[in-house]
Amino acid sequence: MSQTSAVFAPWAEADAKPLISFDRVTKSFGGFIAVDDLSVDIYEREFFALLGPSGCGKTTMMRMLAGFETPTEGEIRLGGEVLRDQPPNARPVNMMFQSYALFPHLSVADNIAFGLKRSQMSKPDITARTEQMLELVQLKDFAKRKPHQLSGGQRQRVALARSLAKSPKLLLLDEPLGALDKKLRQQTQFELMNIQESLGTTFMIVTHDQEEAMTVASRIAVMDKGKIIQVATPGEIYEYPINRYVADFIGDVNVIEAHATGTDTATLTRGEGLKPLEASWGRLTAGDGKLWLALRPEKVQVSVDAPQGTSNALQGKVIDIAYSGNLTTYHVEIDSGQIVMAQEVNRRHLADRSITWEDPVWLSWDKGAGVLMRG
């Protein structure tokens, strides 16, 4: 991959040194393996997201970085140094907790200054730094309040300010926006990104919300059962998932099982009497065999008349219509009996919609619209 200097992608540079590296890390609790022989490098200034269902080991990875858990096997390095024997209080890593973990007996300012008071910093410097952090999260007027006198969003900002106050090399965020409502969460996502960009601190976020990961992260690691399935940029993960698990976890997807043949373009046969489909090999090397076509709903067009000039067109019947305001998702039963989702942006008013339940429709997509997966 060629990189211009304007694009932030240290992971693609051969000589870049990672800030954090997990080197074949395994963590087991009794018989349960939470993290399984996992290796990954995270670079300075990254906003790295660990994404996965609960129990996939993402929180354990974060807790090992913070120092609350020790790897059973393997090593974690921060700036080249092995972290194993450093207690949490000695690590240049701070964490923002899911519950925020604000100290209820301390004021907002004292919460933020808590970590600074335990460093070598002088009193005037602590005061100045606290002021600065309060300003960063726009809570200057709330310095004297106690946590229970704040709203959820304000508490979240205090927790962020507190964890950033010591200028950690790495900030860990454990489901930081989980407790906020959707509007506030989206707004806060942008705030987080702005803060991360302006400070240049490396952020690592744990989340099970794929939209959140897509929005904030420079790279996403999709995890399952203690392993990282794929690490890539949000766009890459969405457009080129390496297997069905990733494709299914990020966004909506139609997965069509088929047998592929061909060299330049894959010809997909789905079964006897069914129309074969065409797809580009994409990043896969050509080769005959069973595979899956992942097709995002927004890349499938719905039309009443037979479409012209596309590589794939299938006839089907509308089973369900999910209207969500800006989008409409059609659930269409195709020749094989499978339900395929197709999404349209609602540019016109609802009343003008020409397709309704039970209507026969055409689904069409280009051969480059989907992605082929062997796993």
Partner 1 sequence: MRRMSLFNVTSLTLVAAFLYLPILLLIIYSFNESKLVTVWGGFSTKWYGELLRNEQFLDAAWVTLKVAVISSTIATVLGTMAALVLVRAGRFIGRTLFSGMIYAPLVMPEVITGLSLLLLFIAAGVDRGATTIILAHATFSMCYVSVVVSSRLVTFDRSLEEAARDLGCTPWDAFFSVTLPIIAPAVIAGWLLAFTLSLDDLVIASFTSGPGATTLPMRIYSAVRLGVSPEINALSTILIGLVSIGVIAASLAGKRSART
Binding site for partner 1 (CB under 8 A): 66-68, 87-89, 93-95, 97-99, 101, 103-105, 114-115, 118-119, 148, 162-163, 166
By beta-carbon proximity to partner 1, the closer residue of 88 and 360 is 88
Residue 17 beta carbon to partner 1: minimum distance, rounded to whole angstroms: 25
Cα atoms found within 13 Å of the Cα of residue 84, Cβ hemisphere only: 10
By beta-carbon proximity to partner 1, the closer residue of 54 and 285 is 54
300/328 Cα distance (integer angstroms) = 12
By beta-carbon proximity to partner 1, the closer residue of 87 and 200 is 87
> Three-class SS of residue 126?
helix
Residue 95 beta carbon to partner 1: minimum distance, rounded to whole angstroms: 5
Are the C-beta atoms of residues 39 and 24 closer than 8 Å to each other? yes
| Amino acid symbol at 117 | K
Residue 109 beta carbon to partner 1: minimum distance, rounded to whole angstroms: 14
Residue 80 beta carbon to partner 1: minimum distance, rounded to whole angstroms: 22
Which alpha helices (H) appear in the chain, and where do they start and end?
Answer: 58-66, 108-117, 123-136, 152-164, 182-199, 210-216, 234-239, 244-249
Are the C-beta atoms of residues 79 and 169 closer than 8 Å to each other? yes
Residue 112 beta carbon to partner 1: minimum distance, rounded to whole angstroms: 10
> b/e for 222-257, b at 16 or more Cβ within 10 A?
bbbebbbbbbbbbeebbebbbbbbbbebbeebbebe
By beta-carbon proximity to partner 1, the closer residue of 101 and 321 is 101
133/289 Cα distance (integer angstroms) = 57
Q: How many CB atoms neighbour CB 369 within 10 A?
A: 19
By beta-carbon proximity to partner 1, the closer residue of 66 and 294 is 66
Residues 6+ apart with CB under 8 A from 255: 244, 247, 248, 292, 293, 294, 295
Residue 263 beta carbon to partner 1: minimum distance, rounded to whole angstroms: 56
By beta-carbon proximity to partner 1, the closer residue of 176 and 370 is 176
**How far, in whole angstroms, is CA 147 from its chain's centroid?**
30
Are the C-beta atoms of residues 96 and 159 closer than 8 Å to each other? yes
179/373 Cα distance (integer angstroms) = 36
Residue 121 beta carbon to partner 1: minimum distance, rounded to whole angstroms: 11
Task: Match 């007027």 to its residue by tokens.
Answer: 141
Residue 249 beta carbon to partner 1: minimum distance, rounded to whole angstroms: 27
Task: Match 């240290």 to its residue by tokens.
Answer: 10
Q: How many CB atoms neighbour CB 17 within 10 A?
A: 12
By beta-carbon proximity to partner 1, the closer residue of 103 and 323 is 103
DSSP state of 165: T
Residue 143 beta carbon to partner 1: minimum distance, rounded to whole angstroms: 18
By beta-carbon proximity to partner 1, the closer residue of 31 and 325 is 31
